[in-house]
Amino acid sequence: MKVELRGITKRFPGVVANADVNLSVEAGEVLALLGENGAGKSTLMNVLFGLYHADEGEILIDGKPVVFNSPADAIASGIGMVHQHFMLVPVFTVTENVMLGVEPTGPMALLDRKKARDRLLSLSKEYGLEVDPDATVEDLPVGVQQRVEILKALYREANSLILDEPTAVLTPNEIRDLIQIIRTLKQSGRSVIFISHKLKEVLQIADRIAVLHRGRVAGITTPQETNEQQLATLMVGREVQLEVSKETAQPGEDVLVVDDLEVLDDRDHKTVDGVSFKVRAGEILALAGVQGNGQTELVEAITGLRPPLTGTVSLNGKDVTGRSPRDLFRKGLAHIPEDRQADGLVVSFPIEDNLVLNTYNEPEFSRGLAIRRDRVRESAENLVEQFDIRTTSTTAAASTLSGGNQQKVIVAREFTHADELLIASQPTRGLDVGSIQYIHEQIVAKRDEGVAVLLVSTELDEIFALADRIAVMCRGRIVGTLDRKGATRDRVGLLMAGETEEAETVPGEMAPTPTEDES
Amino acid sequence: MTAAAERAPVARADLIKRGARTALVPLLSLLAAMVLGGLVMIVTDPDVLPYWAAFFRNPGRAVTVSWELVSDAYEALLRGSFGSMNAFSETITNATPLVFAGLGFALAYRAGLFNIGGEGQILAGATTAVWVGFSFDLPAVIHLPLALVGGIVGGAIWGFIPGILKARTGAHEVITTIMLNYIALSGLNYLLKTTTFLRPGRSDPISQIVNDSAQLPAFGDYRMHAGIIVAGLTAYVVWWLLFRSTLGFEFRSVGANPSASSYAGMSVGGTYVTVMMISGALAGLAGASQMLGVRHYMSPGFLGYGFDAIALAILGRNHPVGVFAAAILFGALRAGGLSMQAATATPIDIILVIQALIIAFMAAPALVRAIFRIRAETVVESEAVTKSWGT
């Protein structure tokens, strides 16, 4: 099935999200849609999926114009979409999720689960989408949940699949599996539109690459004709540096020492199980690991947000276990939380208020009970300029900023006070290439000032760009600590997946392809 | 000329524009509610309905009679609330406790708390204020402020309880405050039978009378009293506290995003306790002003300002200026409603209908915009009236 978009323009009050976009994808082709956040990728796909109505332009399927008023119309025409945030009912089984909305019924309008289950099994065999049809969705790892979403689309006879940032939530191994699945889909004659802002995987998967910049198609190319640097330039609209230049670390004294820490999560599961490590002044220790292996709770315990069960946290030789976040902040600890909108910002507050979220009651900004508004404003104007936060006014709400600029607000606030230790959790998640470059440079600059940096990341690219040492966390434990020089992507990837022995025996070399899902 | 001085007039114009935009939906809600209220009057009036039954014989008559009914009622309402000095005094008298109670609700709301315990906090404040008022013999300059402080303390204690329960155990304030309303009511019934409170020579539960030295002075022969001045000052203090102080910064931050607030080093639980105490204290002042300014003694039963306060705070968008204006409006509806009932036989319950409709429209700003065909403004943070219910 050939899908074609012709002259699509979509306007929102004050913004043109898509301007005269022409794209097509043939049967058996993988088209990558590459662009920064806010470039209009999602809007375009929502137009194609019937969630938005284009102001101008038309959609053609196999050369015939169609009008989609709702996703139901799009699905009926053979278009399937796997959203970035899955649309699954966690307490339902895989079969129930897949049949939801198109339930087969038997006599007396009873649900025919068996029919659905059989069809699901045959689909899953045909496309190599291994999944237990009777498992409850909430018990499945994210990668398998994604397969359920793909199966859902196939069950509805999708000939053209839209995958919205499908790799954002996956482990390196799961990404490898996904690429295999996409190849199978392609061989079966289906077309795939793959949305991403990651250059490496786009080059790996796509047959053709369309780059979107500010709502327009900035270029269409193929992986053979292009390279990372060229794509990045098209995507950002200017020359960008992909590698962070940094000197060898000059580590000093131990700043952060974590000793045998055990932490419980909200459901009283021990998610940090005897973790010990240290970070020295002037070095970046990257804590690598797949999301949900205890990093979040570990950071919360170090930053005073969650009392640890046992173990100690010391800062510059002093035991600070269980101290309040404010105490630790005053001792020179700065923290970039992993979820910037939930934990880093009060998005309804003006930028200037967000910039003093932890310093509003310091003498610099207050006198008695009164906040010194003039000083807050003055400091905000300086920081906005210094950190190049793109906004019209410091009184604009933080919610009006793009993700990259929101992160810059947090970086501006935290870096000003990162005197001893900087903890950066997923500092570039969801950001575009330009912002990633900027934030990486800032982190390296902090290190060179002699600050100890603990970087928590799930992205191998980021870990290898920044780390001086790499500690890999899996199931609440540190399963290996490597020096940057001796580390390879494969070794770290395997350690992240929990395959410790294998990693030990095959040091640094290409590992065998995984056969089992980690769960 | 300094840069700041140059900017000032622009800032003021900007402020007025912003204020007008913020007030637009509340004003249109009021208008829509009055129109619907008028329709309710028409369809519930036994004298007017026959004309509608005969609509096809004489359509003009039905419309005229209905118009007369509604316009007479609203005219009486207006006359009874602002038509004379006495009417104005009644409006202000009714509005005074509503200002305090509305400020109390609004402050808690800004910190993300839905304090529906205003009624109980009002009773607690009223009771302590009355007790201070009749128990001591002091010169007025000391006694009156002391009695007001009594009201503050009583309300603050009644606000502290749900605050500490929420901070320590996570107990939802909607549940605890509503329960504490009834505890306050029963507590009052008990207290009124004790010898401390019981008026000498009486056996029914009625308290002693507040000494003259603790009474809020009235304006001339009118019922309105100095409480409205205290209310205006309090609105200013609450505004300053919310928008100019470090404490208010914490309140609003915790209200908008408790998680980010604790990451930034604020104590969320501590903020809840402080907010509930101040919110309760404001409600306590509502009770104290009514006791020291109008009634001068306690008797069993709620004073009946706590729930109107929620409605008017929402109408005033939980901003001290808006709350003050909305309290005057609600005071006018109360005062005017009485004389409307007397003059036109329109039942005073229609006032409740109008108040309820105002809130219904406030809760659905999109509906108001659709009716009046105005374009959506950028989302105002206090627009989500029901936001704290789910948590």
CB A293 within 8 A of CB A497: no
- Asked if B59 and B188 sit in the same domain, the reply is no
**Measured between alpha carbons, how far apart are the two ends of chain A, in Å?**
36
Using the 3D structure, point to which of A399, A416, A433 is the last residue of a domain.
Answer: A416
pLDDT recorded at residue A78: 92
- Asked if A389 and A458 sit in the same domain, the reply is no
- H/E element, A57: strand A56-61
Using the 3D structure, point to which of A416, A436, A467 is the last residue of a domain.
Answer: A416
Residues in chain A within 8 Å Cβ distance of B265: 324-326, 329, 358
Residues in chain A within 8 Å Cβ distance of B259: 342-343
Q: What is the mean pLDDT of each run of 10 residues along chain A (519 residues)?
A: 91 83 93 84 89 91 91 91 87 92 81 89 89 90 88 91 84 84 91 87 92 90 90 83 78 93 90 94 92 89 94 94 92 92 93 95 93 94 90 88 87 92 90 83 93 92 92 92 88 80 42 41
- Asked if A309 and A427 sit in the same domain, the reply is yes
- Asked if A62 and A103 sit in the same domain, the reply is yes
Residues in chain B within 8 Å Cβ distance of A326: 265-266
Tell me whether residue B162 is in a domain: yes
ipTM score: 0.84
Report how far residue A479's alpha carbon sits from residue B348's, in angstroms, rounded to the nearest whole number: 74
Number of domain units in chain A: 3
- Asked if A26 and A114 sit in the same domain, the reply is yes
Q: What is the CATH number of the domain that holds A220?
A: 3.40.50.300
Tell me whether residue A313 is in a domain: yes
- Asked if B243 and B367 sit in the same domain, the reply is no
- Asked if the Cβ–Cβ distance from B260 to A353 is below 8 Å, we say no
Residue A253 backbone class (left: φ over 0; alpha: ψ -120 to 50; beta: rest): beta
- φ/ψ of A455, rounded to 5, equals -105, 125
- Asked if the Cβ–Cβ distance from B253 to A358 is below 8 Å, we say no
Tell me whether residue A339 is in a domain: no
Number of domain units in chain B: 2
Chosen from A296, A328, A331, A360 to mutate, greatest number of chain B CBs within 10 A: A360
pLDDT recorded at residue B377: 52
- Asked if A431 and A504 sit in the same domain, the reply is yes
- Asked if A387 and A462 sit in the same domain, the reply is no
Q: Count the Cβ atoms, other than its own, within 10 Å of residue A441.
A: 14
- Asked if A293 and A361 sit in the same domain, the reply is no
- Domain holding B225, by residue range, is 95-320
- Asked if B205 and B276 sit in the same domain, the reply is yes
- Domain holding A232, by residue range, is 3-236
Using the predicted structure, report yes or no on whether residue B2 has a pLDDT greater than 50: no
- Asked if A189 and A48 sit in the same domain, the reply is yes
- Asked if B315 and B173 sit in the same domain, the reply is yes
Predicted TM-score (pTM) of this structure = 0.80
- Asked if B249 and B280 sit in the same domain, the reply is yes
pLDDT recorded at residue A513: 43
- Asked if B78 and B33 sit in the same domain, the reply is yes
For the stretch A326-333, contacts whose Cβ atoms lie closer than 8 Å and that sit 24 or more positions apart, written own/partner, are A326/A358, A326/B265, A326/B266, A328/A303, A328/A304, A329/A358, A329/A417, A329/B265, A331/A420, A332/A417, A332/A418, A332/A419, A332/A420, A332/A421, A333/A303, A333/A418, A333/A420, A333/A421, A333/A422, A333/A423
Closest residue to B244, CB basis, from A303, A343, A370 = A370
Tell me whether residue B273 is in a domain: yes
pLDDT recorded at residue B20: 81
Buried b (16+ CB within 10 A) or exposed e, A64-83: eebebeeeeebbebbbbbbb
| Residues 306-345, chain A, touching B (beta carbon < 8 A) | 324-326, 329, 335, 337, 342-345
Residue-wise pLDDT for B292-351, tens only, equals 999 999 999 999 999 999 999 999 999 999 999 999 999 999 999 988 988 888 888 888
Report how far residue A347's alpha carbon sits from residue B253's, in angstroms, rounded to the nearest whole number: 10
Question: Is B256 part of the contact surface with chain A (CB cutoff 8 Å)?
Answer: yes
Residue B363 tokens, joined: 């809760």
Residues in chain B within 8 Å Cβ distance of A366: 246
pLDDT recorded at residue B376: 58
Closest residue to B249, CB basis, from A324, A348, A360 = A360
- Asked if the Cβ–Cβ distance from B262 to A325 is below 8 Å, we say yes
Residue-wise pLDDT for B329-346, tens only, equals 999 999 999 889 888 888
pLDDT band at B10 (very low <50, low <70, confident <90, very high): low
Tell me whether residue B310 is in a domain: yes
- Asked if B45 and B129 sit in the same domain, the reply is no
Closest residue to A346, CB basis, from B253, B265, B267 = B253
Residue-wise pLDDT for B186-215, tens only, equals 999 999 999 889 898 888 889 999 999 999
- Asked if A384 and A445 sit in the same domain, the reply is no
Sequence-ordered alpha helix ranges (H) in chain B:
3-44, 49-53, 59-82, 85-110, 118-135, 140-169, 173-191, 227-244, 246-256, 258-263, 268-290, 306-315, 320-344, 349-363, 365-372
Please report how many Cα atoms fall inside a 13 Å half-sphere around the Cα of residue A490, on the Cβ side.
13
* Distances B288 to A251, B90, B126, B150, B186 between C-alpha atoms, Å: 65, 18, 4, 8, 19
Report how far residue B81's alpha carbon sits from residue B336's, in angstroms, rounded to the nearest whole number: 4
- Asked if B204 and B306 sit in the same domain, the reply is yes
- Asked if A72 and A84 sit in the same domain, the reply is yes
Higher-pLDDT residue of B58, B238: B238
Report how far residue B334's alpha carbon sits from residue B350's, in angstroms, rounded to the nearest whole number: 11
- Asked if the Cβ–Cβ distance from A344 to B260 is below 8 Å, we say yes
Q: Tell whether the torsion through CA atoms of A333, A495, A490 and A178 is positive or negative.
A: negative
- Asked if A211 and A315 sit in the same domain, the reply is no
Residue-wise pLDDT for B21-68, tens only, equals 888 888 999 999 999 999 999 988 888 888 888 888 888 888 999 999
pLDDT recorded at residue B348: 87
- φ/ψ of A479, rounded to 5, equals -95, -5
Tell me whether residue A133 is in a domain: yes
Question: Is B257 part of the contact surface with chain A (CB cutoff 8 Å)?
Answer: yes
- Asked if B53 and B109 sit in the same domain, the reply is no
Using the predicted structure, report yes or no on whether residue B272 has a pLDDT greater than 90: yes
- Asked if A61 and A97 sit in the same domain, the reply is yes
- Asked if B78 and B222 sit in the same domain, the reply is no
- Asked if B124 and B162 sit in the same domain, the reply is yes
- Asked if the Cβ–Cβ distance from A342 to B259 is below 8 Å, we say yes
Using the 3D structure, point to which of A381, A416, A451 is the last residue of a domain.
Answer: A416
Report how far residue A114's alpha carbon sits from residue A99's, in angstroms, rounded to the nearest whole number: 11
- Asked if B236 and B270 sit in the same domain, the reply is yes
* Max intra-chain CA distance, chain B: 74
Report how far residue B110's alpha carbon sits from residue B252's, in angstroms, rounded to the nearest whole number: 5
pLDDT recorded at residue A500: 62
- Asked if the Cβ–Cβ distance from B265 to A343 is below 8 Å, we say no
pLDDT recorded at residue B389: 42
- Asked if the Cβ–Cβ distance from A343 to B260 is below 8 Å, we say yes
